[in-house]
Structure formats: structure tokens, C-alpha cells
Structure 1
């Protein structure tokens, strides 16, 4: 049975990335898999900034990653790269902690001009953590996620279908 951890690298509580997270969780749950969720923004800021590897909260979240064979990385795109808060957490993962795991990068950005961020910014960091099975991932435009209000969002059908097909086809079938 697959064990899944989802690392959400959004620094904001009100973000379009939440809708993507919701869709990914629903896809796994439809296959009887309940993923562990790591919202990096909820970790103690001092532990992240001061690189407290022994922090109880950091150790607890790292254990989720250690116990999973599928890791989903969700990030908004900022300045043609992934979020700084995500990088800060990834720096606290033990060396080679992603070895032997299937890694699924999913990014939300404002323009297709940042599509290659997954390949040129995120994947090298994941590879430095031992990841060798990094899937191509999914890139979703901000404009494909409609804001409904009250921190509620809706993914356009085309983007939702692409995301769902990726999870069910590329991930759940092979793992």
C-alpha cells in the first residue's frame, strides 16, 4: 500500500494552492489512500529560520516524509522559483531523505513563462536530497483557479482533469 505525504510550500493561508491541495487529497482518498499533509507555513518560524534540525515539530514532519513512498511537493511560483518557505523546510530534511521515493512536483504560477521552474529550480534541489524518481509534474496557471471568496477556490475543469489524470494515471497505477 502506498504511503503519501504532501508538502505544501505556500507561505499564505489564503492561496489558490489550497484548491490544488484539496483536489490532490481527494484523488488519493478516492483510491483509499489518506495522505499526510505538511503545511510548511504552520511549522514554527524560528525552527525553520534558525535551522533547528532537532526541533520536535521538524522531526515529526520529517518522519512523515521518511515513512512515505510518494511525496507530493506543492508550491506557488515566486520570482521564477519555488517558495522560500518550501526551500527552508527542504533544507531541514535529512540528506538522501527522498531516495527511493516517487516525487510529484506541482506548481501554480502566473504565466507559462515560469513552467520550466519545476525542471530548473525545484528538481535540482530534490535531486540533492537523493530523489531519483521525480515525475514531470503539473503546472497550473493562477488564472485556471477561480477565486470564489472566503478562502474558497475552484479549479477550472481542464486543469482539474489534467491534475486528476496525472495522479490516477502516472501515480496510482505505477505505485
Structure 2
């Protein structure tokens, strides 16, 4: 969502090619990971305007894993009280237990890599495993060696 054109999002221009591509990718997905920063007990505005543009059945038949990060643990319930109702209203088949991380649990190394505290890394690993088995209905043993979440490199 962060790469979508802000003007098209704010103007609710659902016909914009970039927004149509994003909606098409979402429609083709079997599972969705929704990740957002939390500020003042709410998920991001960019995510909100994107979700607002989707049809009421946009998540129908999909498993959804909500993830959020914030400056303190005081906003961890934003996943359950702000984001989950919206995901439910979009007809998600299965919304897994979300994972909330504080800034202190994720640090940036001098090399530019992210380091996760062990407890957070374990919760993320458990959630990804649940997404694979419960959401995607994959067998518990995969044909490839699992990658620990701490080795995944991403940007937000």
C-alpha cells in the first residue's frame, strides 16, 4: 500500500491503474498479510483509504494475518479493536491472531538489517506457520527447509 499513489488513494480513484493492480493482486491471493504501524490507537491512514476502496467481499475466502508495530505496548489492542472489524467487514474467511511489536523489539543494525527480539521472532514464526497450515491449508512439513523469520529481510 505504501507504494500506491497517494493522490489516487485520497481521491478514491479506484480506476487508477496502480490501485486496480493492487486490487487484482489481492483478489488473486489465497492469504493476505496486513502490516501497519499504529499511531494513536489506529492503523495507518494509507491502509484505511485502500481498504475503503475495496468491495465488501474483497477478502472473501482468504486467510488474513494482521501485523502491527508501534512505539509502546499501549496500542496493541488496535489490532483487535480497530483493524479486525474492518477485515471482518471485508468478509475474510479466517483472521489469525495478530502480532503486535513495539519499536524496542525491532532494532536496526549498523549494516541496515533488522534484528528481532527472540520472543517476537518466535511469535512471528508461529503466526506464519499458522497462516500456512490453517490459512493456506499446507501440510505441516514443507518440501523446503523453513526460513526463520529473523532471517527475512524487508522494509516497511
TM-score, length-normalised on structure 1?
A: 0.72
Structure 1 ranges of 4+ moved more than 4 A: none
In the alignment, what sits opposite 2:101?
Answer: 140
In the alignment, what sits opposite 1:78?
Answer: 39
Matched, 1:58 2:13: no
Matched, 1:157 2:118: yes
> In the TM superposition, what is the alpha-carbon distance from 1:150 to its structure 2 partner?
6.5
Over aligned residues, Cα RMSD in angstroms?
Answer: 1.4
Matched, 1:171 2:134: no
CA distance in 1, matches of 2:9, 2:24: 16
Matched, 1:103 2:64: yes
> In the TM superposition, what is the alpha-carbon distance from 1:132 to its structure 2 partner?
4.0
CA distance in 2, matches of 1:112, 1:67: 34
* Cα offsets for 1:74-126 (capped at 9, x unmatched): 01111111011110111122221111110110111122221111110001111
Structure showing greater relative contact order (alpha-carbon pairs closer than 8 Å, 6 or more residues apart) = 1
TM-score, length-normalised on structure 2?
A: 0.81
* Cα offsets for 1:115-146 (capped at 9, x unmatched): 11111000111112122411111111110001
If each structure's strand is expressed as a fraction of its own residues, which one has the higher value?
1
CA distance in 1, matches of 2:112, 2:2: 16
Structure 1 gaps, min length 5 = 1-39
Structure with max Cα Rg:
2
Q: How many residues align?
A: 135
